[in-house]
Amino acid sequence: MTREVLTHRHGPVGHISLSRPKALHSLTRPMCLAMSEKLLEWHDDAGIEAVIIDHAEGRGFCAGGDVALVRRSALEDGGETGRAFFHAEYRLNHLLFTYPKPVLAFMDGVTMGGGVGLALPAKYRIATENTLFAMPEGAIGLFPDVGAGWYLPRLPGQVGKFLALTGARLDGSECLWAGLATHYLPGSSLAEAKARIIAEPGDTDRILADLSEEAPKPRLAGNKERIDRLFAGDTLEEIQAALSADPSDWAAKELKAVRSKCPASAKVALRQFAGSASRADFAEEMELEYRIASRMIMRPDFAEGVRAVLVDKDGSPEWNPASAEGVTETILEAIFAPLPLGDRWEPIPT
């Protein structure tokens, strides 16, 4: 068991705490394997009634996955280590989604990428004044994964598409408004919430209701009409054209955000979201995302995006193709094509 994941049993409640504070608890493969192992141990344990997932210390709940490691893999071992990470991470995501006992995710702090994959399958998703939620994969040449192709299209209106294409950061009140969080608690109440739930896990709904407070007015709600109107297009070109034609400062700001992201990432996300409703179950979603991830990490855009954001930190990636028009159907077909039978992702048997 890695020291970067702390696990405890408090009577009827299992407790998993991420403990990699210097990296904002970003996930590694050993962390994903450790969490899956413990969840499987508790899966059929009649004495475990609920599971809490939080972080041990620091600002983040979980800032994502260790993309620097995945980049090194793409450059040095043909992506083998990177694919192994995504395989383990997506198995964990699926295990949480199908878990037979209620899971509580305390999204107290940075909740991005891999952290979203831990939080959104949970029955109870608790946001606070410290929550900072985003799916910023377009900035590094990846795509909204960890089940985002299932969750984001199911948000109100075009909010999911907006989050995927802009990488917008939401606070706790916006997460509650959008349905990403189920409860909004002050950070000062979290210790009490956990203690009371551990004492009476069967009363979780009442305990969270008692400790919840009215969230501040969500800024995102004020832009809902614009989001639904300007992000309604089916293609990246249509959305960029709609934003360009709108005279508001808001549209100009969001157009700049969309254009700064990897065009291939954006088109992959739109195609991924378009097929979401037709996928039979969450396992099918994760199988698709694994094949996309296997291809995306080997594209030059990924190494370039991570370089610009995390290595050189110049914030000036050179995408290839550099425009929406350059990302052809041929490119997308290759990214979405099925993997050979022996290389495909499968969930953990339970």
* 193-to-106, 207, 327 alpha-carbon distances in Å: 10, 7, 48
Active site residue 342: no
Exactly one of 14, 64, 65, 113 is catalytic; which is it? 65
How buried is 157 (Cβ within 10 angstroms: 0-12 exposed, 13-18 middle, 19+ buried)?
middle
Q: How far apart are CA 256 and CA 81, in angstroms?
A: 34
Exactly one of 60, 114, 115, 172 is catalytic; which is it? 114
Exactly one of 4, 49, 137, 254 is catalytic; which is it? 137
Active site residue 314: no
Exactly one of 4, 145, 287, 301 is catalytic; which is it? 145
CA 72 from chain center: how many Å?
22
Q: Helix, strand or coil for residue 233?
A: coil
Task: Convert 114-128 to b/e letters by CB count within 10 Å (16 or more is b).
Answer: bbbbbbbbbebbbbb
Output the CA angle 258-235-82, nearest 5 degrees.
65
Ordered alpha helix ranges (H), 179-223: 190-199, 204-211, 219-222
Active site residue 179: no
Active site residue 145: yes
Q: How far apart are CA 14 and CA 9, in angstroms?
A: 5
Q: Annotated active-site positions, please?
A: 65, 114, 137, 145
